[in-house]
A = this chain, B = another copy of it.
């Protein structure tokens, strides 16, 4: 299947599947393509055609087709190229892209940070466990490099915080589980929002020690130990966070 089959959208011809009752033509088009992706009918790399092709195929204006494509692009479902041989193709999955979308939802939903940290705890624990089992020498090398780098940054709280973030992400990478990387990526923005307050040097030193100990577990291939240690690490963060919320001060964050 390399060319999307068009179906008339007007009221006369009922949609075959009609799973969703959409208000607008553009939404119907989006729903139809998403359905195709979720059912496996449409795969990454399939060419949808140019805006004109789509608008003619579905018998809508180019404007409506454009809006549908923008919606799909926002979801990371299609990629659009301009020029000759341009047009819309079904995108390859982007593990990074979806994180922001989920982060927005978390922001708007007022999900308690405590709940997120609880999930973070089990998922990062799993990541540490798998990292201990599957980390390659290159992974270890990278993690060691990040710790050395972090050592230099103890004074610069912003830089240290970012570095810690990368360290945690690197452990997820070392687990060699795409699903874990994706899931943790989606939580990242919630815990470490761009403008959160940063750790003080004293705290930074303790965090650095913790990360060092964690890496030792992974180097020793002690999966159970790595998991437990990581969980404790996150639970500690969670407790501090809880205390901060209780005292109604959001400064003095000890993330990472």
CB within 8 Å of B: which residues of A?
Answer: 19, 26, 30, 34-35, 37-40, 44, 63, 66-67, 70-77, 90-95, 97-98, 100-112, 115-116, 118-119, 122-123, 125-126, 177-180, 182-183, 186, 189, 193-195
Contacts and interface: CB of A to CB of B under 8 A. Distances in A.
Contacts of A35: 194
A92 B105 CA distance: 8
Contact of A179 (B67, B103, B115): B115
Give 10 nearest A-B pairs by CB, closest first: A93-B109, A93-B108, A115-B179, A71-B74, A74-B74, A98-B105, A111-B178, A115-B177, A67-B70, A122-B122
Given A102-B182, A119-B183, 16 more contacts: A19-B194, A26-B70, A34-B100, A37-B108, A38-B193, A38-B194, A67-B70, A70-B70, A71-B73, A77-B108, A91-B108, A93-B109, A98-B105, A116-B179, A119-B177, A186-B186
A5 B222 CA distance: 52
B126 A34 contact: no
B109 A182 contact: yes
Contacts of A106: 93, 179, 182
Contact of A194 (B39, B90, B97, B179): B39
Do most interface residues of chain A lie in helix, strand or loop, or is the interface mixed? helix
A231 to B, nearest CB: 11
A183 B215 CA distance: 28
Contact of A76 (B44, B104, B116, B178): B104
27 contacts: A19-B194, A34-B104, A35-B194, A37-B107, A38-B103, A38-B189, A40-B107, A40-B193, A67-B70, A70-B71, A76-B101, A77-B108, A90-B108, A93-B106, A93-B109, A94-B109, A98-B102, A101-B102, A102-B182, A105-B182, A112-B179, A115-B179, A118-B126, A119-B126, A119-B179, A119-B180, A122-B123
B110 A93 contact: yes
